[in-house]
A and B are shown apart, each in its own frame.
Chain A
Amino acid sequence: MTAPLKLSHNELLGLLKYMFQGQLGHDYDWAALSEHVLWLETRGYGGLDMLMEAIAMQSLDGFSGNLLDTPGGFEIDCGGKSLIMGLPSIIDLAVDYLGAKGSCVVDITSACQLSAVIAVEGALMAQGICAQAVIDMDAGAARLLCSADANVGVATAILQRDHDAAALFYDESLRSGIAVSQQCYDMLNCIAARTLVEASEASRKGAGD
């Protein structure tokens, strides 16, 4: 087996952006999606494994989640797609709702890769919001309890429990690089290459010759 490559954060982030762009075109905020995958990977939550699985399951092809308002928050039906695709929207909507109401219940349904919900916890906690996810893998659903008030009892998130380990994982990845298998690296590059234009006389002129 080939030894894993060590990629810098910036290198992996750039590769992810082009991979998402190659996969999705300009229809999504692929820079934000890439940041979430990088966050998951550099905190020890296997962002790249989730991504590879999503690619294999063809669940990165698009996201047209159905949004429903509920009495205490909202529900997002992910239509069987990877939760990774819905992360930016879920965070936006939760922050929006919390700003108005102070607390929020987010129901995520018909999603795969529900463990990516930890990235929502992380993003909300970074904004001073307490968040706790309860995942029902069998049902393909998760419920996220969020509160702008630290004293309402939802501050028992996985991320908070793992805080020290996640920080150590991050530091090590920054110091030594992120281990990426050759297979994963090749797969990401293969998709990212869709954004490249074939070299030609015209393209060489486009560089200034």
Chain B
Amino acid sequence: MANMLQHISEAELSYRPANVVMQLDRLGTFYPYPLSFMRSLTRRILREKWDIKRDTVELSDEGHGHVIYVIKTPHGVFSYVIFAKYLDPDMRSDRVISEDWDMTVTLCEGIVDAQRLNMLKENVPLQEKGRVDSRCIVLSRANQSVRNFDYVVGRLAQGKQPDLDAMAKVGYLYRTTAVYGSGKFGMADWEKVRQCYPDFARPFAAEMFSCFLIRDFSLFQVDYVAKRRAPKTAAVMDEAIKRYVGIGNATGLGMAPYLINHPLLVNKWIEVRETALACVKRDGQMDMDMQARFRCLAEKAVQHLTEISTDNADQNAINMKARKDMCALVDWFNTQDNLQSWADVTTYAETYFGYETQELLHALLFELFPDIVCGFEDALNITQTYALSPQMPVGELMAIIEDKYRWALEVDFTDESGLGTFWYRSEEKQEPRLGARGHEAGADKEMLLGIARHVRQCYDDLTAFDAQSSTARFAFEYPQHRFIIRRVQTMAQTRYGEIQANLLSRDVLPIHLLRCKLSFFGVGKFDPRSRLWVRNTMFQGAPLLTDIGKTTEDNWCFPIKPAHDCSA
């Protein structure tokens, strides 16, 4: 399947062009879909019936202590170790620079013995300040949503279920504030994961699994604490409500450079998504059953958008408009009796509605045809190599830039707004930050995220060089351009290429990058806290550990309060 995309030509499928798809404000409207990483992961867990047990539970009555899950997969045995503690409320912060958390966790290979547990106990709670080893795959932490946690424990202790409206308002008991993998702090490299742990050899599968188990622990912990608080009266949370509880997440700027620094990977994710969309539009049946299911899904999506609670006025306006537009689209759909294909519906949406509604519609179409979409499940991995083509004549390199990077050449860098922002790493946990150029210190240490500007600078120097000369000779004379040249030469061979945005613009909205990446993770319910970071919810509506072995259904898109089911 991985090579399949290379053999699909423009003639066979109607792809959307790069200059439509790769606009930042379009990418910032993407919704999760069946190939989003947490969806793929849960399908796999259910399909392969992973054996996941709480093997060790050593908790105080307040739910503090440690828990070890043992996970048996088709290819191995893993342990998931959780350290939960009392956290001074003054220390609780979503910020990545915080130093203490309610819960710290690691996913590691094999069974954890006493000696290893001690090593983990000394290091995992320290997070970035600790060191783990290459048998660890993920390191993460989470903080309680104190208001929700206390409310739920209180209700359960009284023998009552939490109120659904109250649960809808927050939707989770814990929020993750960082999830590390790919070799950070001595952990296993992605290459090792790919080779040695095939159960997690899809993008971010191990990281998503960690969030899945944090969610499970949060559900276990509220039942556990309520039972100890009121042994005679406590209720266990209903499973339907448990499914509606997700895991919160706070995501900031750290995620944005990832997308810019891994353009081949982003191109692959987008290409797979666009291929799936083109296949659905070409091959998706439009019979009465599918039309009815589309209406039901649209109704569910509108309900989902209605249930999102955010204080962000812009996001509320976006959600409200998407709801209104989707209702209008369904009204139009209901009056049509000559529609030939789903492409007719997407064309209508492109003509009359904005990006948000267009991408919401695409998300619905993906859900309508899981058999088509999930055929691309194994196509998302890629080995990223950005190699220079030394023999390419300078004239050809210029022509490539003029063709594939026209968007970059069109940016006016003589206007100070085009360079108004710079990205840098702060000494505080070495996390990315944004600065206002000319007004804040640090521009001399800026990160190389201004792809458009580097292309412009390289192009200007190319114009003064012999067009017949080779790229190798040019790069020798201008070594500062070598990195952007190999990037340009590599990305020119891809279908979608770069995200077409000037990240140095004074008005750049990094939140679009965050939502794009989070949509590929499968995250929903975006709650922007500023233009630079966002709260969101993961795994809301997803199966529970108790569902493993009982179902393989994958119908938890657009989660809504229990008692609304249109899976049939």
Among residues of A, the one whose C-beta sits closest to the C-beta of B533 is: A208
Encode contact with B along A1-43: 1 for CB under 8 Å, 0 otherwise.
0000111111100000000000000111111100000000000
Encode contact with A along B456-487: 1 for CB under 8 Å, 0 otherwise.
00000000000000111101100110110010
Does B435 lie within 8 Å of A206, measured CB to CB? yes
Whether a CB of chain B sits under 8 angstroms from the CB of A174 is: yes
Whether a CB of chain B sits under 8 angstroms from the CB of A138 is: no
- Number of residues in B with C-beta < 8 Å to the partner? 55
Give Cα A8 to B554, complex, Å: 36
Whether a CB of chain B sits under 8 angstroms from the CB of A207 is: yes
Residues of A within 8 A of B427 (CB): 193, 196-199
Whether a CB of chain A sits under 8 angstroms from the CB of B433 is: yes
Give Cα A196 to B524, complex, Å: 33
Does A196 lie within 8 Å of B195, measured CB to CB? no
Whether a CB of chain B sits under 8 angstroms from the CB of A100 is: yes
Given contacts A28-B480, A175-B192, contact A206 B440 (CB under 8 A): yes
Encode contact with B along A184-209: 1 for CB under 8 Å, 0 otherwise.
00000000011111111011101111
Residues of B within 8 A of A28 (CB): 479-480, 482
Whether a CB of chain B sits under 8 angstroms from the CB of A93 is: yes
- Select the stretch in B166-174, B179-187, B268-276, B364-372 that faces chain A: B179-187
Does B442 lie within 8 Å of A96, measured CB to CB? no
Q: Give the residues from 151 to 209 in chain A that come closer than 8 angstroms, CB to CB, to chain B.
A: 174-177, 193-200, 202-204, 206-209
Residues of B within 8 A of A174 (CB): 189, 191-192, 195
A32 CB, min distance to chain B CBs, angstroms: 7
Whether a CB of chain A sits under 8 angstroms from the CB of B431 is: yes
Given contacts A10-B182, A11-B186, A96-B470, contact A89 B533 (CB under 8 A): no
Residues of A within 8 A of B530 (CB): 208-209
Q: Which residue from A7, A11, A65, A96 sits with its C-beta under 8 Å from B390?
A: A96
Given contacts A32-B482, A96-B473, A174-B191, contact A11 B183 (CB under 8 A): yes
Does B189 lie within 8 Å of A9, measured CB to CB? yes
A203 CB, min distance to chain B CBs, angstroms: 5
Does B483 lie within 8 Å of A208, measured CB to CB? no
B60 CB, min distance to chain A CBs, angstroms: 34
Give Cα A91 to B486, complex, Å: 13
Give Cα A151 to B349, complex, Å: 61
Residues of B within 8 A of A27 (CB): 479-480
Whether a CB of chain A sits under 8 angstroms from the CB of B409 is: no
Residues of B within 8 A of A149 (CB): none
Does A208 lie within 8 Å of B253, measured CB to CB? yes
Does A195 lie within 8 Å of B445, measured CB to CB? yes
Among residues of A, the one whose C-beta sits closest to the C-beta of B427 is: A196
Does A88 lie within 8 Å of B482, measured CB to CB? yes
Does B95 lie within 8 Å of A207, measured CB to CB? yes
Does A208 lie within 8 Å of B426, measured CB to CB? no
Given contacts A6-B186, A208-B533, contact A196 B445 (CB under 8 A): yes
Does A95 lie within 8 Å of B390, measured CB to CB? yes
Residues of A within 8 A of B131 (CB): 5
Residues of B within 8 A of A7 (CB): 186
Q: Which residue from B424, B479, B532 sits with its C-beta under 8 Å from A197?
A: B424
Residues of A within 8 A of B133 (CB): 6, 177
Give Cα A56 to B529, complex, Å: 47
Among residues of B, the one whose C-beta sits closest to the C-beta of A93 is: B472
Q: Give the residues from 81 to 136 in chain A that come closer than 8 angstroms, CB to CB, to chain B.
A: 88-89, 91-93, 95-96, 99-100
Does B185 lie within 8 Å of A11, measured CB to CB? yes
Given contacts A88-B482, A202-B440, contact A175 B134 (CB under 8 A): yes
Does A207 lie within 8 Å of B433, measured CB to CB? yes
Does A176 lie within 8 Å of B134, measured CB to CB? yes
A7, A193, A197 — which one has the most chain B CB atoms within 10 A of its CB? Answer: A197
Give Cα A65 to B448, complex, Å: 25
Give Cα A209 to B95, complex, Å: 9
Does B186 lie within 8 Å of A177, measured CB to CB? yes
Give Cα A56 to B97, complex, Å: 34
Does B425 lie within 8 Å of A195, measured CB to CB? yes
Does B433 lie within 8 Å of A203, measured CB to CB? yes
B191 CB, min distance to chain A CBs, angstroms: 6
Given contacts A26-B448, A175-B134, contact A207 B431 (CB under 8 A): yes
A199 CB, min distance to chain B CBs, angstroms: 5
Give Cα A26 to B472, complex, Å: 19
Does B425 lie within 8 Å of A6, measured CB to CB? no
Among residues of B, the one whose C-beta sits closest to the C-beta of A197 is: B442
Q: Which residue from B95, B391, B435 sits with its C-beta under 8 Å from A202?
A: B435
Q: Which residue from A31, A96, A176, A199 sits with its C-beta under 8 Å from B428?
A: A199
Does B426 lie within 8 Å of A6, measured CB to CB? no
Whether a CB of chain B sits under 8 angstroms from the CB of A67 is: yes
Residues of B within 8 A of A100 (CB): 391
Give Cα A99 to B389, complex, Å: 11
Encode contact with A along B524-548: 1 for CB under 8 Å, 0 otherwise.
0000011111000000000000000
Does A5 lie within 8 Å of B186, measured CB to CB? yes
Give Cα A26 to B192, complex, Å: 31
Give Cα A197 to B436, complex, Å: 14
A139 CB, min distance to chain B CBs, angstroms: 23
Give Cα A9 to B192, complex, Å: 10
Q: Which residue from A26, A89, A96, A197 sits with its C-beta under 8 Å from B426?
A: A197
Does A95 lie within 8 Å of B134, measured CB to CB? no
Q: Which residue from B188, B391, B433 sits with its C-beta under 8 Å from A8?
A: B188
Encode contact with A along B414-453: 1 for CB under 8 Å, 0 otherwise.
0000000000111110110111000011100100100000
Give Cα A31 to B454, complex, Å: 15
Given contacts A96-B391, A174-B192, A208-B531, contact A32 B472 (CB under 8 A): no
24 sampled A-B residue pairs with Cβ under 8 A: A6-B134, A8-B183, A8-B189, A10-B190, A11-B184, A11-B185, A26-B448, A28-B482, A29-B483, A88-B479, A93-B476, A174-B192, A196-B426, A196-B430, A197-B426, A198-B426, A200-B441, A206-B434, A206-B435, A207-B252, A207-B533, A208-B252, A208-B253, A208-B529
The 6 closest A-B pairs by CB, nearest first: A8-B183, A208-B532, A10-B183, A206-B433, A197-B442, A96-B472
Query: 9 additional contacts, CB 8 Å, given A93-B472, A96-B470?
Result: A6-B134, A8-B188, A10-B183, A27-B479, A95-B390, A95-B472, A100-B391, A199-B428, A209-B530
Residue positions of A touching B, CB distance < 8 A: 5-11, 26-32, 63, 65, 67, 88-89, 91-93, 95-96, 99-100, 174-177, 193-200, 202-204, 206-209
